[in-house]
Structure 1
């Protein structure tokens, strides 16, 4: 018999980390960032920027507290125009399509923007070039009207959006996937959206509070930044406490401490550890009898699974990031990455979460006895660690790190560790980050 008045939850309800939170999730905790987001949605008029490390709950925050929105996933190949087109598509405005309606018989002349191929019912396929015209003869009482929007004209696009969007927000996921030039041109359009008024929620993986304002200065006081932040030990403890109650389990406190230590203060990594640990105990839903979860060998097995799934890919990206972009260089990027890893090994995790002082990085780089670098050059290289210049050739194939490992915030004068898996690696005991890079000759051409 189930405990009196206890609901039955699945393991996914409790420790799942899907893109959308379960309707009833006992382990969902309202944090300071959540309250700030709710207030901004309900009472303010600005755009909203939700930023922070991956797997920290940005998408769940929006799903749970943004009442009405359309979602657009950014793509690395997007231009501003294709981003506009994706927004219109989500609002069922089909740019470059034909709409059918009834009308009297006559010829229609359509002006087409952009090269486009139209499939016309009852007619042959037609190629229509930019600025070209097509005469379409109506068949009996059917007519076709081309929805013609100039995607290069932001006023025309925004007007079309305003006519159908109502009170919906536009949520742009993975804004960091866009090329820096596209981020900048789109940011320059955001002020215009507010006049209609259309509000946009931008979601990205970075650590800079003023990211959007740095792209377009006229967004000052027109965007509200919401830092999803790293999770505290107390918050992660609360998750397990609520999870144990819902599953009718008891998790050994020493194992909880170990999982927190190895999570990098990342809720996604932590919940994944708890989920795998429950599975290894055969717990897939609420238990009829109190179940004790205290097997340390199974905890180590859960940690190993997490290490392979989360940490190993991040370490692979470190090797790519450390490679020089051009031949004949002195290997500044290699020395920066190596210095950051050495600092991470030497520092307490709470200090790392707060960011590494840039002067500490500079001193560490300049302490190498092989090559001397100027402070200005080190700062310049730090500024591009998170950009498309992370793209490197590896065995003839371009490899791009869309989610940055590190982020230099000039305003705070700190380098932040964006990839929580690196913090988890610090405490894994399986790798010495200070020695994870190979010989310099591997990275410097």
Structure 2
């Protein structure tokens, strides 16, 4: 039997790791939802198993996957779905075949749908005879901005796959809102969509379209319970024929902040630091906590570049912030100074407002409306700064700013925060020192 590599068992990667476990409150709910006619919304913080859940229970041949990005609009999303189904998309204004980036602003297109099974034609010539596949097409004039038009094309080819919209959170709010309304149309037509997004509040899409109530099933991938982590760690260790002490397992869970991705990565680094790269015929025991400290240090170093750069980028947005309030800089400062547990549970908007006023150079100018505008635009700000995945999200129903990438909590827990704060450029000092006078 071929030995298993540690990278096959533990870690965060595109492929399924062998330490994956099914959880009744998540996997069973997802499997039951697949049997219904409802759309499915899978949500939770970054690296909490959303994509793994999808790959576990939906075969690649049964889905059409669209990886959403900040620049996607309705046309590019629907165009991608049709192209993946081998449907030609042409401009209604010319015979030019459109590429992915060549989009008619008015949304008017002609689509050519191939008949199932082409016909073979023999083409003779003086040189010889050759055969080529000749395809017949039916043409439709459609508007790629209209879900009804797109749905009719899909029904014409007897479409039966699931449409997967991954990274839904990267889309601008207006696009998310439009898609929330289109979901009603698609469900009426028997076309189902699975949405995966990084956020932590319930009823996210219902806030855009209340008519989706009873038409979607929400599957949160959080929380991960201690017993779940025990199962993952022990399953992976067993596959590699390794045993970890209870104290080491406890410490892994304590520093993971409830994030399975961090557990997976620390286990991978711990086994590597212990000199274990693959499964062995003899039982190996990991009981040296210094090796775990080494693994944690490696992950802190891995996260440092990304998180420091992300915090600096958000703070740097202060330079273009209207009115010289520099609120992005101040919110980064509050985040660095806050307790880890508070960041994990989320900070109320009013609390953020109060704390910023306490340290702001002109506190009387910081109004509640300014805070609301900042928090509502937090997602777009991170998108413009290419912070992938996003670190924060604002729950409008609960009025809390939440950390949605637990690796930031891990990074802050094991970093020198006073030193980190010194690295964040202060716009007052670098751009307009006269404001202090």
Coarse TM-score class (shorter-chain normalised): 0.7 to 0.9
Tell me, yes or no, if the aligned pair for 1:261 and 1:424 is still in contact at 8 Å: no
Q: Distance in 2 between matches of 1:85 and 1:131?
A: 10
Q: Tell me which residue corresponds to 2:247.
A: 254
Structure 1 stretch 200-209 or stretch 421-430: which is displaced more? 421-430
1:170 is paired with a residue of what secondary structure?
strand
Q: What do the CA deviations read for 1:51-73 (whole angstroms, capped 9, x no partner)?
A: 12221110111111236322222
Tell me, yes or no, if the aligned pair for 2:42 and 2:50 is still in contact at 8 Å: yes
Q: What is the TM-score of this pair, normalised by structure 1?
A: 0.79
Q: Tell me which residue corresponds to 2:10.
A: 15
Q: What do the CA deviations read for 1:68-120 (whole angstroms, capped 9, x no partner)?
A: 32222223332211211111122232323xxxxxxxxxxxxxxx52555359x
Greater helix proportion: 2
Q: Tell me which residue corresponds to 1:409.
A: 395
Q: Distance in 2 between matches of 1:274 and 1:27?
A: 13
Q: Does 1:382 align with 2:369?
A: no
Describe how 1:14-413 pairs up with structure 2 within 5 A: 14-22=9-17, 25-42=18-35, 44-66=36-58, 68-96=62-90, 112-113=91-92, 117-118=96-97, 145=137, 147-150=139-142, 151-164=144-157, 166-323=159-316, 324=318, 325-326=320-321, 328-343=323-338, 346-348=339-341, 351-368=342-359, 370-372=361-363, 373-387=366-380, 389-390=381-382, 399-413=385-399
Q: Shift of residue 283 of structure 1?
A: 1.7
Q: Distance in 1 between matches of 2:275 and 2:141?
A: 56
Q: Shift of residue 140 of structure 1?
A: 7.4
Assess, with a 3 A threshold, how the Cα gap between structure 1 residues 306 and 317 changes in structure 2: closer, same or farther.
same
Tell me, yes or no, if the aligned pair for 2:315 and 2:425 is still in contact at 8 Å: no
Q: Distance in 2 between matches of 1:342 and 1:74?
A: 33
Q: What do the CA deviations read for 1:345-394 (whole angstroms, capped 9, x no partner)?
A: x243xx5433223332222122225221122321221121112x3466xx
Tell me, yes or no, if the aligned pair for 1:386 and 1:405 is still in contact at 8 Å: no
Q: Distance in 1 between matches of 2:248 and 2:135?
A: 69
Tell me, yes or no, if the aligned pair for 2:335 and 2:343 is still in contact at 8 Å: no
Assess, with a 3 A threshold, how the Cα gap between structure 1 residues 241 and 326 changes in structure 2: closer, same or farther.
same
Q: Distance in 2 between matches of 1:296 and 1:92?
A: 55
Q: Distance in 2 between matches of 1:243 and 1:143?
A: 50
Q: Distance in 2 between matches of 1:156 and 1:221?
A: 24
Q: Shift of residue 318 of structure 1?
A: 0.9
1:209 is paired with a residue of what secondary structure?
coil
Assess, with a 3 A threshold, how the Cα gap between structure 1 residues 59 and 404 changes in structure 2: closer, same or farther.
same
Assess, with a 3 A threshold, how the Cα gap between structure 1 residues 417 and 11 changes in structure 2: closer, same or farther.
same
Structure 1 stretch 177-186 or stretch 331-340: which is displaced more? 177-186
Q: Tell me which residue corresponds to 1:418.
A: 404
2:51 is paired with a residue of what secondary structure?
helix
Q: What is the TM-score of this pair, normalised by structure 2?
A: 0.80
Tell me, yes or no, if the aligned pair for 1:113 and 1:148 is still in contact at 8 Å: no
Q: Which consecutive residues of structure 2, in runs of 5 or more, have no partner in the other structure?
A: 99-105, 111-120, 125-133, 433-437
2:89 is paired with a residue of what secondary structure?
coil
